[in-house]
Amino acid sequence: MARISIYDSTLRDGAQAQGISYSVDDKIKIVERLDALGIRYIEAGNPGSNPKDLEFFARAATLKLANARIIAFGATRKVGKRVADDANVQSLLKAGTSSIAIFGKSWDYQVLEILRTTLDENLAMIGDTVRYLKQHGKEVVFDAEHFFDGWKDNPEYALKTLAAAVEAGADCIALCDTNGGSFPDEIFEITRTVCARFPSATVGIHCHNDSEMAVANSIRAVQAGATQVQGTINGLGERCGNANLCSIIPNLQLKLGHDCIPADSLRHLTSVARSVAEIANMPHNEKAPYVGGHAFAHKGGMHIDAVVKNPISYEHINPELVGNTRRVLMSEVAGRSTLLARINAVDPRLSKDSPETRRIMDRLKELEHEGYQFEAAESSFELVVRKMLGRYTPFFELVEFKVIVNEPCVNEVNSSVIIKVRVGDQEVLTVAEGDGPVNALDRAARKALERLYPAIGEIRLTDYKVRVLDSDKASAAKVRVLIESTDGRENWTTIGVSTDIINASWQALVDAIEYKLMRDREAKRAA
């Protein structure tokens, strides 16, 4: 099968998503992860648009990349301007990248009504810019903006824009479904026609997800002859996002047999997806195909029984191929065998008839009746099992804490916590402030314990959820708190339940800290 060049635009198109603002350090980190993954092209920004991108390109020039080429992105020359005098074109050259992407209009409506110029001038803008960049020794990707909409209105003119780029020496012509409104059958037929019209050209595809067709459209374009696919990690992008490379890459490589990235790199896909989400300060989509936490999670008893016998019964691939893991969820419908499997992960000697197993299952039923739900908090589940088996020694003990809330807040601080904890025969008393009582409690616990357990400094809380369990009791209702944590290598979720939201948060916070310390201790013993 044809080799497909993966072209990542997480740092440019992805940065246009609502709520995302990368720092230069953020962009460097993402480049390094994408390069390690084996991505061929990384479109990193528009050097003519802001000083931050200029700083990025200066720093990127010092990177030693093993697989990727950095691409500077910009527009064709302006209407009526000599290309050599166009400041944006000159900024592309100053970026110092060996590869450059420029976009130009391929929809006659956009040319006439948005650019407000002639169709011939637009063709000249495309040809002049591509030719000028080629004369400076650059690899040039031409993004035909609004190509599919342009084709539907005036296919003859849309083809002329591609011809202008090809004749000027463009190395790749990328067909853009800029408004994201095309369907897979349209993408296939139009892309196939373009590939036949320009048989010597490299044809790329760039899809947006406004109709939730971006992944399917990208796949169909490849099946029609495209050999470059543009997209973003996790589908980040303007409006509804761009084509999600985390789905496209395994679909092309595992299902269709294309060579996209090195086979041994594919197993890092899930960790890259998660790290990009963290760097972008966005919640990771746990329902995402291939890389989501729910992608290979099984809850129903019959499903779990079948998966234990043979995973292909309810899994379309081996999750390890993309660096994900199979999860058997703890719940009231999981079944006795499922619970036993999780218990055996702690103590493989126990059978379903062991007294210890019965005690654990009875305790789990009690906790579920109180409002605990372990399907999303497997780390707390493991701690419960260890405590019931006497296989766990707490790292610290709470003596007491006091929470003081002040309103109005001053400098985003409205709460303080005084906490006393005991570690062995040593008591530690400390105080901390925070933005809310839970934040203050978290800071106080860290302050009290980090000197004795420095690894706590690696823990970062990535998500905090509260659910009211019995709303009919109004302000006296019981709440369930879930805290998701990471140390940059592993993610884990813990739970707390109480009629007091601060106490529920404390339970989940303690489990988060103790789970981390327990895992580190076991890793050290294994080494």
Interacting residues of 436 by C-beta distance below 8 A, sequence separation 6+: 414, 415
Higher pLDDT, 326 or 77: 77
Interacting residues of 25 by C-beta distance below 8 A, sequence separation 6+: none
Q: Which helix (DSSP H) or strand (DSSP E) does residue 461 occupy? A: strand 460-468
Domain residues of the chain, as ranges? 5-279, 297-388, 397-526
Rounded distance between C-alpha atoms, residue 292 and residue 284, angstroms: 8
Higher pLDDT, 344 or 23: 23
pLDDT for 304 beyond 70? no
The DSSP code for 235 is G
Q: What pLDDT was estimated at residue 110?
A: 97
pLDDT for 219 beyond 80? yes
Instruction: Report DSSP letters for 405-441, one per residue.
Output: EEEEEETTEEEEEEEEEEETTEEEEEEEEESSHHHHH
CA geometry: angle 93, 230, 256, nearest 5 deg: 145
Please give the CATH superfamily to which domain 5-279 belongs.
Aldolase class I (3.20.20.70)
Comparing CA positions, the residue from 1, 55, 4 lying closest to residue 231 is 4
Each residue of 142-167: pLDDT tens digit? Answer: 999 999 999 999 999 999 999 999 99
Rounded distance between C-alpha atoms, residue 276 and residue 242, angstroms: 15
Please give the CATH superfamily to which domain 397-526 belongs.
Alpha-isopropylmalate synthase LeuA, regulatory domain (3.30.160.270)
Confidence tier at 100 by pLDDT (50, 70, 90): very high
Of the listed ranges 32-41, 358-367, 379-388, the one predicted with least confidence = 358-367
Q: What pLDDT was estimated at residue 341?
A: 72
Q: What pLDDT was estimated at residue 363?
A: 86
Asked whether 207 and 213 are in contact (CB, 8 A), the reply is yes
Interacting residues of 192 by C-beta distance below 8 A, sequence separation 6+: 224, 225
| Average pLDDT for 229-252 | 97
Decide whether 5-279 matches 397-526 in CATH topology.
no
Q: What pLDDT was estimated at residue 508?
A: 94
Rounded distance between C-alpha atoms, residue 484 and residue 205, angstroms: 36
pLDDT for 333 beyond 50? no
Confidence tier at 302 by pLDDT (50, 70, 90): low
Q: At residue 72, what are phi and psi to the nearest 5 degrees?
A: -90, 140
Rounded distance between C-alpha atoms, residue 243 and residue 233, angstroms: 8
Asked whether 201 and 176 are in contact (CB, 8 A), the reply is no
| Average pLDDT for 499-507 | 92
Rounded distance between C-alpha atoms, residue 351 and residue 340, angstroms: 7
Asked whether 493 and 482 are in contact (CB, 8 A), the reply is yes
Confidence tier at 377 by pLDDT (50, 70, 90): confident
Q: What pLDDT was estimated at residue 332?
A: 47
Q: Is 221 left (phi over 0), alpha (psi -120 to 50) or beta?
A: alpha
Share of the chain above pLDDT 70, in %: 95
Comparing CA positions, the residue from 87, 39, 399, 18 lying closest to residue 241 is 18
pLDDT for 233 beyond 80? yes
User: Which among 100-109, 298-307, 377-386, 496-505 has the top mean pLDDT?
Assistant: 100-109
Q: What pLDDT was estimated at residue 527?
A: 73
Each residue of 124-145: pLDDT tens digit? Answer: 999 999 999 999 999 999 999 9
Each residue of 84-95: pLDDT tens digit? Answer: 999 999 999 999
Interacting residues of 171 by C-beta distance below 8 A, sequence separation 6+: 139, 140, 141, 202
Q: Which tokens sit at 58? A: 């200066």
Asked whether 115 and 79 are in contact (CB, 8 A), the reply is yes
Query: CA quadruple 5, 240, 35, 317: dihedral positive or negative?
Result: negative
Average pLDDT of the chain to the nearest whole number: 91
| Average pLDDT for 29-40 | 96
CA dihedral of 74, 79, 81, 84, whole degrees rounded to 10: 20
Each residue of 184-216: pLDDT tens digit? Answer: 999 999 999 999 999 999 999 999 999 999 999
Each residue of 408-428: pLDDT tens digit? Answer: 777 778 899 999 999 999 999
Q: What pLDDT was estimated at residue 471?
A: 59
Burial class (CB in 10 A: 0-12, 13-18, 19+), 95: buried
Query: CA quadruple 208, 210, 213, 215: dihedral positive or negative?
Result: positive
